[in-house]
Amino acid sequence: MFSILGLLLWTMGTTADVLDELVVQPFWVSVYFEDLCRTSGMLFTSYGLFKTMRFVQSIHNRLACELIIDDLTKVHNRRYFYRHVRSAEVTPYVILIIDIDHFKSINDEFGHDVGDIILKQLANKYNDIFVDNAQFARLGGEEFGGYLPTSKMLQVIDFCQHLIDLAHSINVKNVRHLTVSIGVAKQTPNGPLDKVMKRADQALYVAKQTGRDRFEIASN
């Protein structure tokens, strides 16, 4: 709006200036009107362009955020997780795949709105403990990913048990406590991320098949 008004005033000032060369105009038009319209037009146009650039920048920032942040849980998404791990300098590292146990039954019994609340609660609790260069993200559905820049498996074991205990602190409608299963895989020397993820996913499957509410470490 400011740009349109500015351009209109600027055009009026320029038009008056051109007419001044062609016809005799009142003194106040040639002395005051031209300069006033031209100057105010420049100011309004400049301010309008400034506002437009601020708006475009805000849209750009929002779109950039939406590309890397999960809309529901507000933690990083799968795209960012893969990009972060692939650019990580620490090697070998450890990948965790965390899956909420019996999540479909939670949605079926209590409704998808309760399921969404559970996802957000768990994501917030977990995201707070992935500190320093560690990374946490929602991979999709009720599945989350974790990246730990370490090869010390004793620390990883303690961390996984902490994740399981944190899940227990979430109460599902005062009926039962939440549980998760975790698949753990350590990167082999120069092993690509896709293979590490596959091994972690296989370990998750074993954890699910052997009772849930536990973690399983993939063999090298």
First to last CA, the chain: 64
Cα–Cα nearest to 122, from 108, 101, 104, 105: 101
pLDDT for 174 equals 86
Show the tokens assigned to 43: 């100011």
Split the chain (220 residues) into runs of 10 and give each run's mean pLDDT.
54 51 46 54 63 63 67 95 89 96 95 96 97 94 97 96 97 92 93 95 97 93
What is the side-by-side order of every strand in the sheet holding 215-217?
76-77, 135-140, 143-148, 94-100, 180-186, 215-217
DSSP 32: I
Can you give the pLDDT at residue 204? 98
Catalytic residue (choose from 34, 66, 142, 216): 142
Instruction: Say if residues 7 and 40 touch (Cβ distance below 8 Å).
Output: no
142 is catalytic: yes
